Amino acid sequence: MQAKIERSFTESRRREQIVAAAIETIAEVGYQKASFAKIAKRAGLSSTGMISYHFAGKDDLVRAVTEKIVGTITAHMIERIEAADGRADRLRTYIETNIGMVSVYPAQMRALLDIITAARDTSGAIQVDTQPITDRVGLMTAELRDGQRTGEFGEFDARVTAIAITGAIDALVTERAFNPADDDELHRSAVELADLFLRAIEPRRTS
Amino acid sequence: MQAKIERSFTESRRREQIVAAAIETIAEVGYQKASFAKIAKRAGLSSTGMISYHFAGKDDLVRAVTEKIVGTITAHMIERIEAADGRADRLRTYIETNIGMVSVYPAQMRALLDIITAARDTSGAIQVDTQPITDRVGLMTAELRDGQRTGEFGEFDARVTAIAITGAIDALVTERAFNPADDDELHRSAVELADLFLRAIEPRRTS
Amino acid sequence: MQAKIERSFTESRRREQIVAAAIETIAEVGYQKASFAKIAKRAGLSSTGMISYHFAGKDDLVRAVTEKIVGTITAHMIERIEAADGRADRLRTYIETNIGMVSVYPAQMRALLDIITAARDTSGAIQVDTQPITDRVGLMTAELRDGQRTGEFGEFDARVTAIAITGAIDALVTERAFNPADDDELHRSAVELADLFLRAIEPRRTS
Amino acid sequence: MQAKIERSFTESRRREQIVAAAIETIAEVGYQKASFAKIAKRAGLSSTGMISYHFAGKDDLVRAVTEKIVGTITAHMIERIEAADGRADRLRTYIETNIGMVSVYPAQMRALLDIITAARDTSGAIQVDTQPITDRVGLMTAELRDGQRTGEFGEFDARVTAIAITGAIDALVTERAFNPADDDELHRSAVELADLFLRAIEPRRTS
DNA sequence: AATGAATGAGGATTCATTCAT
DNA sequence: TATGAATGAATCCTCATTCAT
């Protein structure tokens, strides 16, 4: 009985199963080519009708997929970042952890990157709830400004820097997601990237 | 008859016309939605058959489009970069000029960004001749290593840094391509970005 | 247990509830668009399965809907017509009351009109038990002939006239059902229509 | 060559062929059931894609069908009506000719009646360019008022009468379209209907 | 070189119906 | 009785490509 009650509260298993199949499909063939037919086949469904039954449309499915991935990754990242001490360490942890996600959730990261860049609706506008994406830049901008206020960071344009950092992370992740390297090599690159930006934003002594 | 011979050597005017129409169409509606029908209409062609006649397929057309854009932009950038003095100035010029392209060739840049991220072939693999794109990273890596050798740059992982720089440029360009800002504001952002990276890679004094 | 027995004789409450929801749905979105899904939602049912459980199919549901509406309207009309004195008055009452139904039962009338015109079965033949509809013509034909026999009406083709009267009523009702007018205006039109036909069928003096 | 030039001016043969197939299909199975697949099959097309190629959508096709039918019928009716003398005769000719159309163009009439009553777009609004339909009532209203002004007709509500006449015509046509009678019988009914309305609207002598 | 009609596969979506629970 | 998940056919539509002319 509990299972039945739970179904009322949580998403149905089919929904989760479809979302999981969609993630794998997008990771493999890309957003464009991830048709309902392919997703249904991977989910073990006999027809695409079932997907339409559970989701209002492709947009709705992609939204669910994005939420699922962002949720998974965010949860994973937050606890690590919270453990960091000071702005600089927080930023380093953010960069390294974010890049590290490609080791832990390769399919999710590949799918997410594809959705971010490729998923637009009929009007050409980005379709995905860009909240988690744009927020990334917004939150990092705020973070950087905080660091500037406390003197932990130097003088620079916080917004441009935030765009640069997230762009650089994505570029590195994209490269490694499609041309996988071993985890050690990936980690070294992540450390290098964090070093790079920390050097760029550290406070400068005027001689 | 000379005309006929010329056509064997150069691309026909029709091809160029179709490529130009494809660029505009991709810039406007995105790669996904840029169908032969829409491109043909914009090119003033009465049927899509003409496109198939001139190009082996959509992949072939997109390759031609990419080559055209990369060629145009590269030519524009090279002469400016050549004029720069010293590694640091070259890098600054590269960054600022690349970002400036969005002011000079907005449609081309929008189309190129869309193709890079969205264009995959039937198998889901990235379809575009990534040569010009990956080369960008390769060339910049070499450039950075040269600077390290001459002592103009400090110690850092050249490849990771090259990825970071190009990724940051693309992120900034993407943001501005779809949310246009005025040219002055764009230029200020470009200068900030160049400053950021130059600080990050300048030689350090060991105390 | 009595309840159970009663259910065998009368229609179950569920059935009535579904029929009511179907009427409202058809009135609102039309027969074509009135899917089981929409009807179920309006009936507060969680799935369309319930409808299939209670009705043999869509045709069966529509038949029940038609019977319900025709029953409701007929009951309402009969007592008024019975109260009329003489053939002419009966006809006038019939016309005015029938048109007046659109004020009293707007949803039912809209639904009925839609079903009459739009509901065909798989073979394309009109699906609805046309009995109540064709009967309308048949009954009116008989009524007119009676009036001719008694000399209350003149000479005319009773069947053609019956078709004309019912067709005119339906046309007026349709127009007002979809472009609602106030009740007074509707009543004036009904009186005009009755006047029109009574003039047409009154006995003529041969000069 | 002339044929080729003509194709630029006139509608292509395929279009006409598709419209003709659509008319037959609608006449046979009704608007609802007249899917692109059935129309394509009847038109001898191997896929529904060709229909979409020639028409912007189902609405567009139905509009073309309606125009075609209305055009055909109107042309046929106009010359007869123009030949009539006086308002009363014009009205009689209109009624008789309109009903007579069901003998001359049975499929077209059946299709047209079905479209008028059944074809609604997604919002439930009548989809067809109602111009020819509503105009019918409008034009007849004007015609009747003219007759009242000249004294050829008596006192009555012109609009209600126009609705009644068109409604009666449609009812008779519908009945005969789906339950065909021989042409003579149909003609007698048409004459009866005209008689009926002419009696109803003739000028009355106040005693 | 160019046209434009035709193709056929594939796209998402809706629907009535069935069935195990 | 009632649920709700599953089915599979059918809907319109878009697309790249082909082919005769």
Residue of B nearest to A192 (CA): B157
Protein-contacted positions of strand E (CB under 7 Å): 1-20
Q: What does the alpha-carbon distance between residue A2 and residue D29 come to, in Å, rounded to a whole number?
A: 51
Read off φ and ψ for residue A101, nearest 5 degrees.
Answer: -55, -30
Q: Is A171 on the interface with B (CB under 8 A)?
A: yes
What pLDDT sits at residue C5? 38
What pLDDT sits at residue D58? 87
Q: How far is C158 from chain D (nearest CA, A)?
A: 10
Q: Average model confidence (pLDDT) for chain D? A: 85
Q: Report how far apart, in Å, the C-alpha atoms of A111 and of each of A115, C120, D184 are.
A: 6, 47, 73
Among D30, D33, D175, select the one facing C163 at the smallest CB separation.
Answer: D175
Among B30, B166, B167, select the one facing A120 at the smallest CB separation.
Answer: B30
Q: Is A134 on the interface with B (CB under 8 A)?
A: no
The SS3 of residue C126 is: strand
Distance from CA(D138) to C1'(F10), angstroms, rounded: 40
- C49 sits within 7 Å of strand F by its CB: yes
Q: How far is B10 from chain A (nearest CA, A)?
A: 34
The SS3 of residue D85 is: coil
User: Any idea which of A74-78, B175-179, B185-189 has the lowest mean pLDDT?
Assistant: B175-179
Distance from CA(A63) to C1'(E11), angstroms, rounded: 19
Q: Which residue is nearest to nucleotide F4 (CA to C1')?
A: C47
Residue of A99, A186, A192, A201 to mutate when probing chain B, most B C-beta within 10 A: A192
Distance from CA(B53) to C1'(E1), angstroms, rounded: 9
Position B181 confidence tier, pLDDT thresholds 50, 70, 90: confident
Contacts of C124 in chain D (CB under 8 A): 28-30, 33
Q: Is D33 on the interface with C (CB under 8 A)?
A: yes
Contacts of C189 in chain D (CB under 8 A): 157, 160
Residue % of chain D over a pLDDT of 90: 48
Say what the alpha-carbon torsion angle B38, B6, B74, B68 is, to the nearest 10 degrees.
Answer: 10
Read off φ and ψ for residue B120, nearest 5 degrees.
Answer: -125, 155
Q: Is the CB of residue D89 less than 8 Å from the CB of residue D143? A: no
Q: What does the alpha-carbon distance between residue A32 and residue C48 come to, in Å, rounded to a whole number?
A: 33
pLDDT per residue as tens, chain C (207 positions):
344 434 444 568 889 999 999 999 999 888 888 999 999 999 999 889 999 999 998 888 998 999 899 889 988 888 899 899 999 999 999 999 999 999 999 999 989 888 887 765 545 455 555 555 557 888 899 999 999 999 999 999 999 999 999 999 999 998 887 777 788 999 999 999 999 999 999 998 655
Q: Is C4 on the interface with D (CB under 8 A)?
A: no
Q: Is the CB of residue A203 less than 8 Å from the CB of residue A153? A: yes
Name beta bridge partners: A126. A120
Read off φ and ψ for residue A126, nearest 5 degrees.
Answer: -60, 130
* C-beta neighbour count of D116 within 10 angstroms: 18
The SS3 of residue B71 is: helix
Indicate whether A122 pLDDT > 70.
no
- D37 sits within 7 Å of strand F by its CB: yes
Chains that touch C (3 or more CB pairs under 8 A): D
Q: Is the CB of residue D34 less than 8 Å from the CB of residue D25? A: yes
Residue % of chain A over a pLDDT of 90: 53
Q: What does the alpha-carbon distance between residue B61 and residue B65 come to, in Å, rounded to a whole number?
A: 6
Place of tokens 């998974």: A72
Closest CA to B197 of B154, B150, B133: B154
**Six-digit token string for B127:** 């379809």
Task: Check residue A11 and report its DSSP letter.
Answer: P
Q: Is the CB of residue B186 less than 8 Å from the CB of residue B103? A: yes
Position A6 confidence tier, pLDDT thresholds 50, 70, 90: very low
Residue of B92, B102, B160 to mutate when probing chain A, most A C-beta within 10 A: B160
Q: What does the alpha-carbon distance between residue B178 and residue B206 come to, in Å, rounded to a whole number?
A: 43
Interface of D with C in 45-104 (CB under 8 A): none
- D33 sits within 7 Å of strand F by its CB: yes
Residue % of chain B over a pLDDT of 70: 85
Span B180-205, mean pLDDT?
Answer: 92
Q: Is the CB of residue D148 less than 8 Å from the CB of residue D64? A: no
The gap between the terminal CA atoms of chain B, to the nearest Å, is: 74
**Strand F within 7 Å of which CB atoms in A 1-60?**
7, 12, 14, 45-50, 53
HSE-CB for D29 with a 13 A CA cutoff: 14
Indicate whether D193 pLDDT > 60.
yes
User: Any idea which of A145-149, A175-179, D80-84, D129-133 has the lowest mean pLDDT?
Assistant: D129-133
Maximum Cα–Cα distance across chain D: 73
Span D9-26, mean pLDDT?
Answer: 83
Q: Is the CB of residue B66 less than 8 Å from the CB of residue B112? A: yes
Distance from CA(D3) to C1'(F1), angstroms, rounded: 69
Q: Is the CB of residue D101 less than 8 Å from the CB of residue D131? A: no
pLDDT, tens digit, 9 for 90 and up, residues B16-68: 999 999 999 998 888 888 999 999 999 989 889 999 999 988 888 998 998 89
pLDDT, tens digit, 9 for 90 and up, residues A145-192: 999 999 999 999 999 999 999 999 999 998 887 777 788 999 999 999
The SS3 of residue B145 is: helix
Q: Which residue is nearest to nucleotide E19 (CA to C1')?
A: C49
Among B32, B160, B192, select the one facing A172 at the smallest CB separation.
Answer: B160
Do D and C touch, 3+ Cβ pairs within 8 Å? The answer is: yes
Q: Is A166 on the interface with B (CB under 8 A)?
A: yes
Residue of C102, C110, C117 to mutate when probing chain D, most D C-beta within 10 A: C117
Closest CA to A130 of B116, B178, B193: B178
Q: What does the alpha-carbon distance between residue C59 and residue C47 come to, in Å, rounded to a whole number?
A: 19
What pLDDT sits at residue B133? 55
Residue of D31, D99, D126, D192 to mutate when probing chain C, most C C-beta within 10 A: D192
Indicate whether B182 pLDDT > 90.
no
pLDDT, tens digit, 9 for 90 and up, residues A23-39: 999 998 888 889 999 99
Closest CA to B102 of B174, B166, B29: B174
What pLDDT sits at residue D134? 52
**Six-digit token string for D121:** 């777009």
**Are A160 and B193 an interchain contact pair (Cβ–Cβ within 8 Å)?**
yes
Position D99 confidence tier, pLDDT thresholds 50, 70, 90: very high
Place of tokens 């197939």: D21
Q: Average model confidence (pLDDT) for chain A? A: 85
Q: Taking each helix axis from N to C terminus, what angle separates C86-104 and C183-201, rounded to the nearest 10 degrees?
A: 150
Q: What does the alpha-carbon distance between residue D129 and residue D69 come to, in Å, rounded to a whole number?
A: 13
Q: Report how far apart, in Å, the C-alpha atoms of D159 and of each of C93, C190, D145, D170, D200 are.
A: 21, 12, 9, 16, 14
Q: Identify residue A142 by its one-letter amino acid code.
A: A
Q: What does the alpha-carbon distance between residue A8 and residue A17 come to, in Å, rounded to a whole number?
A: 16
| A188-197, C178-187, D55-64: range with highest mean pLDDT | A188-197
Q: How far is A98 from chain B (nearest CA, A)?
A: 14
Closest CA to C198 of C85, C84, C92, C99: C92
**Six-digit token string for B33:** 């939605």
Do A and B touch, 3+ Cβ pairs within 8 Å? The answer is: yes
What pLDDT sits at residue A135? 75
Higher per-residue confidence, D57 vs D165: D165
Cα C125–chain centre separation: 19
Contacts of B169 in chain A (CB under 8 A): 167
Closest CA to A145 of A129, A157, A133: A157
Task: Check residue A119 and report its DSSP letter.
Answer: -
Q: What does the alpha-carbon distance between residue C96 and residue C99 come to, in Å, rounded to a whole number?
A: 5
Closest CA to C127 of C58, C68, C40, C71: C58
pLDDT, tens digit, 9 for 90 and up, residues B63-117: 899 889 988 998 888 888 889 989 999 999 999 999 999 899 989 998 988 888 7
Cα A178–chain centre separation: 15
User: Any idea which of B147-151, C46-50, D150-154 has the lowest mean pLDDT?
Assistant: C46-50
**Six-digit token string for D150:** 């000249």
